[in-house]
Amino acid sequence: MSCHGEREGCTDPNAINYDVLAELEDNSCTFPNVLMRFIPMITMPDDTLQLGFGQTYQINGLDVRLDQIRFYVDDVTLVTSAESFTSENTLLATESGKLGDLGELKIGDLQEVKFSVGVDPVDNLADPALQPANSPLSSDNPEIQHWNWTSGYKFFLIEGAVDVNGDGVFEQDMTEQMSIHCGFNDNLKNISLPIIEPTVVDRVGYELDIEYDVRGIFEGYDLTTQLFSRPNSNPEYATEIMNNVENIFKIR
């Protein structure tokens, strides 16, 4: 209590611990934070399952093994009934499905999620050594996806193999090993996902799961020949992949 008898507490109605009886702010307010995770899914004849990396699936009529799918997620914006909150944090979605913290926001009903697949054009052309050490864009981060021989980050990365000749064996050469690295500002993709049934974000550690359709990555894509892409080798393959990426996400 204050010396004048007023009740101290959190006076912000957008906080988790808002005290309706409090008259004096005591800087104790706690706000919700959102943890975002990306989950790879694969459509099967009878069901849709979470993709198992290192396993073999039929995609476009071929046996395909996916060992890695990794991509940067930037400019995440959460539109709620209270505010439009844009996170300052860049995330790196990996096969481990780890959670990325977007930061604190006000309590409200989540109505829309927007983000970019790739890296903001300014950051994409900046020196990774100048990024904060805890950022996935930092040269200090062991998981960084950056071309050290040309400008920019690898926005979307796919590693695996395709049984092109149908002999049941993944050959250890470029005829069947898949390595597609996508980048460059022109391939940045903006995603907008409306929330059909708004849900209230009102707690610490609110988990937001975004699924992505692995088959959709390869929609109309020629897996018999288009297995390798770098900026100086078959960059058009990467563009095809990134064009498909616009349509693969949904909120779980």
Residues 138 and 196 in one domain: yes
Residues 69 and 155 in one domain: yes
Please count the structural domains in the chain.
Answer: 2
For residues 10 and 26, what is the distance between their CA atoms, to the nearest angstrom?
6
Residues 131 and 61 in one domain: yes
User: Residue 99, Cα to own-chain centre: how many angstroms?
Assistant: 10
pTM above 0.75, yes or no: yes
Residues 151 and 135 in one domain: yes
Residues 42 and 16 in one domain: no
Residues 169 and 198 in one domain: yes
Which residues constitute the domain of residue 145?
38-251
- Contact between 144 and 209 under an 8 Å Cβ cutoff? The reply is no
Residues 133 and 24 in one domain: no
Residues 77 and 187 in one domain: yes
Residues 86 and 24 in one domain: no
Residues 76 and 168 in one domain: yes
For residues 204 and 110, what is the distance between their CA atoms, to the nearest angstrom?
15
Residues 123 and 21 in one domain: no
Residues 177 and 121 in one domain: yes
Task: Kindly give the confidence (pLDDT) of every residue in the chain, 252 residues in length, as a single tens digit, with 9 standing for 90 and above.
Answer: 445 678 999 999 999 999 999 989 899 999 999 999 999 999 998 899 999 999 999 999 999 999 999 999 999 999 999 999 999 999 999 998 999 999 999 999 999 999 999 999 999 999 999 999 999 999 999 999 999 888 899 999 999 999 999 999 999 999 999 999 999 999 999 999 999 888 899 999 999 999 999 999 999 999 999 999 999 999 999 999 999 999 999 998
For residues 47 and 24, what is the distance between their CA atoms, to the nearest angstrom?
55
